[in-house]
Amino acid sequence: MEARTISFAKNNKEPKLAFEGVDATELYPCVLFYSSNPGEKVAICDLQMRGVPNDLLPGQPLCSPRTTVMVEATVQLLRRLHHYENWTAHINQHMVAKLELIGPLIQDGARTVFTSRSAQLPEEKQKVRGEPEGASGRMGDVPLGPSALSGAQLDTLSCEVWPVLAVLGGVDNGLRAGGLCVHRPSGRRAILLGVLKEGSPLAKLQWEEADLTVRYHGSPTPRYSRS
């Protein structure tokens, strides 16, 4: 009742929002038949009074999973901090230091593979294959790339470099809790707060306008602004 809304459903389907801004303290359900067929009946099977829910779910699989929601929230926070003068230099310095790890890791991985393969070849073939690195980005016939890296080197890239790439390019541009979306029928912009239960097609939105009333709508169109 705190949300001042009324929803109803027919034939065990998902309830849909019917009325908003309800100020009445007492309500009496009724059903109006548009058919003139005699003998039609209706039964009110369940009546529930719900408050505003405190715990909302991320809404997967229709929306991004919880892990992605947390990562994107962290990325957005770092981007906001980057706009502040006290943070800009520190964030830039950290990101550059992590990105500079890529070159040495790739070269070291290719060198390790090349040395290992050379040890297995006859001496005369080593002279042919042991050519210096050329403009094609290859060391002999060993490609310079992730396929040449060891498990430890891949872990370093994943833990040290990937977070920086996530800040630069984002992780998931899809519909997610905490993200900005557009309600397709009305064109209004809102923040997706989450869903009430797993698998539900209805989402809880908070409009961007001054009216902060929270309402339920189905399948908003994703749209995000990048900082």
Q: Lowest-pLDDT range, 40-49, 74-83, 127-136, 207-216? A: 127-136
**pLDDT tens profile 3-39:** 677 888 888 777 777 887 777 778 887 888 777 777 7
Comparing CA positions, the residue from 186, 4, 172, 195 lying closest to residue 207 is: 186
User: At residue 118, does pLDDT exceed 60?
Assistant: no
Question: Is residue 153 one of the residues assigned to a domain?
Answer: yes
**What is the distance between the alpha carbons of residues 68 and 196, in angstroms, rounded to a whole number?**
19
What's the maximum distance between 2 C-alpha atoms anywhere in the chain? 99
Q: What average pLDDT does range 138-160 have in this prediction? A: 72
**What is the distance between the alpha carbons of residues 192 and 181, in angstroms, rounded to a whole number?**
7
Helices 85-99 and 66-82, packing angle to 10 deg: 120
**pLDDT at residue 29, as a whole number:** 79
Following CA atoms 58, 59, 62, 68 in sequence, which dihedral angle do they give, to the nearest 10 degrees? 20
DSSP labels for 113-174? HHHHHHTTS-HHHHHHH-PPP-TTSEETTEE-SGGG--HHHHHHIIIIIHHHHHHHH-S--S
Question: Is residue 65 one of the residues assigned to a domain?
Answer: no
pTM over 0.85: no
Question: Is residue 123 one of the residues assigned to a domain?
Answer: yes
**pLDDT at residue 126, as a whole number:** 47
User: At residue 45, does pLDDT exceed 60?
Assistant: yes
**pLDDT at residue 90, as a whole number:** 95
Question: Is residue 114 one of the residues assigned to a domain?
Answer: yes
Token pair belonging to 84: 């502040």
Laid out side by side, the sheet with 180-182 consists of: 214-218, 202-207, 189-194, 180-182, 221-222
**What is the distance between the alpha carbons of residues 24 and 49, in angstroms, rounded to a whole number?**
14
Number of structural domains in the chain: 1
Structural domain for 154, as ranges:
85-169
Q: What average pLDDT does range 150-156 have in this prediction? A: 85
Question: Is residue 109 one of the residues assigned to a domain?
Answer: yes
Question: Is residue 38 one of the residues assigned to a domain?
Answer: no
Question: Is residue 3 one of the residues assigned to a domain?
Answer: no
**What is the distance between the alpha carbons of residues 57 and 59, in angstroms, rounded to a whole number?**
5
Question: Is residue 76 one of the residues assigned to a domain?
Answer: no
The answer to whether 76 touches 191, Cβ cutoff 8 Å, is: no
User: At residue 70, does pLDDT exceed 50?
Assistant: yes
